[in-house]
Structure 1
Amino acid sequence: MNQIKRVAIVGGTHGNELTGIYLVKKFDRAPELIGRSTFETIALLANPKACEIGTRYIDIDLNRCFRKQDLENPHLSSYEAQRAKEIYRLFSSKNTHLPNLIIDLHSTTSNMGLTFILASHHPFNLQLAAYLTSVYPHLKVLASTTNNHDSLLLRSLSELGGTLEVGAVPQGVLDASLFQQTEQVVCQILDGVEAYNQGTMPAAKNPLTIYHTIGAIDYPRNENREIQAMIHPHLQSRDYEALNPGDPMFLTFDGESVLYEGKSTVYPIFINEAAYYEKGIAMCFTQKQIVVSH
């Protein structure tokens, strides 16, 4: 693979996730923090109107607006649809190439710590993930089982890089410790790209653990789509921990446990994510894979 020439750090894809918003503003004020010798770095506030009023979005979720057919559809006129097209044009404007690598900064109300979600299964992303986990052993690596091409997500504009998800932090709130950790990981990613370009990125010494998303589950609901149960206290805040068949998953308002009826152990993430109530997602299920580099 050729050298990486451009990196885009994106914050504020959701206007109530303050970590990325204020990091991008900081990088705008102090570009030397993200400057490296072998590539150009740009910092972008993705959804400025939503950021201004502190809501997740104005009309629709911006992070669901990047499918190619939507970007090329002149009839989609919502604020976020227009903004997605602007971002696409902005990233395409230089030499008609998208940025070589995108880091999309997000925060979650779920207890996911630091999570790097790979934009694709490209060998460079795996190399970068192994590099990051060697520096930050607690960082989790997440991959989607679906193909990233023609995805809804902003990170799909480039197959290199991905989403940096940090939590738990409430919507519209800054957490100083998580802010600092996110900034450190962003700078480590930039250092990794620099090392890659210079041929000095260290080879992975330890196996890489990757969690692969395999699906999502909704809350129990009645015929009127009203929620009938909550995340079980035994599962709350236990992202990335094993959920075995027969384990309690939900608790009804009358105090009855609803058990996990799957046939195999899964590792739930985005447990009780506030933004996912409207999407009908109580949690996502993942499977764990250990990748040994040779």
Structure 2
Amino acid sequence: MRVVQLGEGMPEVSIVGGIHGDEPCGVRAIERLESDAPDLERPVKLVVANERALERGVRYVDADLNRSFDDDVPEDAHERRLAEALADEIEGTTALSIHSTQSHADPFAVSDGRQEHVREIVPQLSVAALVDVEEFGGGRLFAANADIIEVEAGLQGSETAAENAYTLARELLTATGVLPGDTVPHELPTFRMGDPIPKPEADEYEVFVENFQEVEAGETFAAADGEPLVADETFWPVLLSSYGYEEQFGYEGEPAPNIGQSPSEGANSTSVNSRSSAQ
């Protein structure tokens, strides 16, 4: 793990990239921020998490780092030790964790929409939607003692994802008062995470629908070895892709109340300049 601090003092904000070694976009955003050496109003901590997996170009070495923040992972696993060190590094900060995906080209956030920091900051980021999760798989970074915002910056391995990651990082730094300036808050479509959509055993998979777009009951949404898969009931796909997961296509979702504000409301942007003692 590589940790760099920009600015003087105790950082209350952090940017994390490289949780998965096959998702380099966050690391590239961090490297650009280091190279920029911007004038800061407050310090920030930059963390490149799983350097060993990044060097090998694999998702993880022994265990998925974003599933290693609990006791279910063997103690001698590289990612178990790394998770403990990462949790210590970001403790007490507002932390942006940058990922990429095989499911959707536009950036979106995956966070707990009940949390105040999520409701305040995420609408200031250029994301297409918020996937509202209370518990999305055990052992995730959300278990750390920090205010986590997780974003998917775009398609895995693409230049666009790297550009998006850099933009999102700068927006987060602006929204939290690390960088000077204003953001442009917007009303954000929000979807609750539902049940996983299992994959039947097959050699080839196809997906025919778009994430966050309604799939009606009776509509063909995917295929396995050419055999159509039809929706039993209406749902909104979340993290749906042909090969993003081994045993499932993604998740069934449903619309939730939007967060943020519409541009017509005309309110000025607000910044989270420090963590409250209540958090």
Residue 213 of structure 1 corresponds to 193
Query: C-alpha offsets along residues 230-286 of structure 1, whole Å, 9 cap, x if unaligned?
Result: 234x22xx1111111111123242x33221113xx3211222263411xx2211121
Which AA in structure 2 matches 1:11?
A: G
Is 2:10 the partner of 1:11? no
Query: C-alpha offsets along residues 25-75 of structure 1, whole Å, 9 cap, x if unaligned?
Result: 333444x34x631x32111111010001111001111110012x45xx9x6
8 Å CA contact 2:95–2:147 kept in 1: the answer is yes
Residue 260 of structure 1 corresponds to 231
Match for 2:130 among 131, 136, 141? Answer: 141
Match for 2:118 among 112, 115, 125? Answer: 125
Give the CA RMSD over aligned residues.
3.0
Residue 154 of structure 1 corresponds to 141
Residue 242 of structure 1 corresponds to 214
SS in 1 for 2:177: helix
TM normalised by structure 2 equals 0.78
For 1:49 and 1:123, how far apart are their aligned partners in 2?
34
Shift in CA distance, 85/292, structure 1 to aligned 2, threshold 3 Å = closer
Q: Offset of 1:292 from its aligned partner?
A: 6.3
Which 4+ residue blocks in structure 1 deviate beyond 3 angstroms?
200-204, 291-294
Percent identity over the alignment is: 17
SS in 2 for 1:249: strand
Match for 2:68 among 65, 69, 92? Answer: 65
Q: Offset of 1:102 from its aligned partner?
A: 0.9
Q: Offset of 1:24 from its aligned partner?
A: 2.2
Q: Offset of 1:208 from its aligned partner?
A: 3.6
Residue 182 of structure 1 corresponds to 165
For 1:103 and 1:123, how far apart are their aligned partners in 2?
15
1:26-105 alignment to 2 at 5 Å? Answer: 26-30=32-36, 32-33=37-38, 36-37=40-41, 39-67=42-70, 69=71, 76-91=75-90, 98-105=91-98
Is 2:162 the partner of 1:194? no
Which AA in structure 2 matches 1:51?
A: L
Is 2:258 the partner of 1:291? yes
Residue 163 of structure 1 corresponds to 150
SS in 1 for 2:236: coil
Which AA in structure 2 matches 1:77?
A: D
8 Å CA contact 1:113–1:166 kept in 2: the answer is yes
Q: Offset of 1:5 from its aligned partner?
A: 5.1
Q: Offset of 1:162 from its aligned partner?
A: 1.1
Shift in CA distance, 54/203, structure 1 to aligned 2, threshold 3 Å = closer
8 Å CA contact 1:36–1:190 kept in 2: the answer is no
SS in 2 for 1:250: strand
Shift in CA distance, 11/119, structure 1 to aligned 2, threshold 3 Å = farther
Match for 1:23 among 12, 22, 29? Answer: 29
Residue 94 of structure 1 corresponds to none
For 1:228 and 1:261, how far apart are their aligned partners in 2?
23
Residue 224 of structure 1 corresponds to none
The count of aligned residue pairs is: 252
> Structure 2: any 5+ residue segments left out of the alignment?
1-9, 262-279
- Of Structure 1 and Structure 2, which has the larger fraction of its residues in strand? 2
Match for 1:230 among 177, 192, 205? Answer: 205
Shift in CA distance, 41/216, structure 1 to aligned 2, threshold 3 Å = same
For 1:249 and 1:65, how far apart are their aligned partners in 2?
32
Q: More deviation in 103-112 or 21-30? A: 21-30
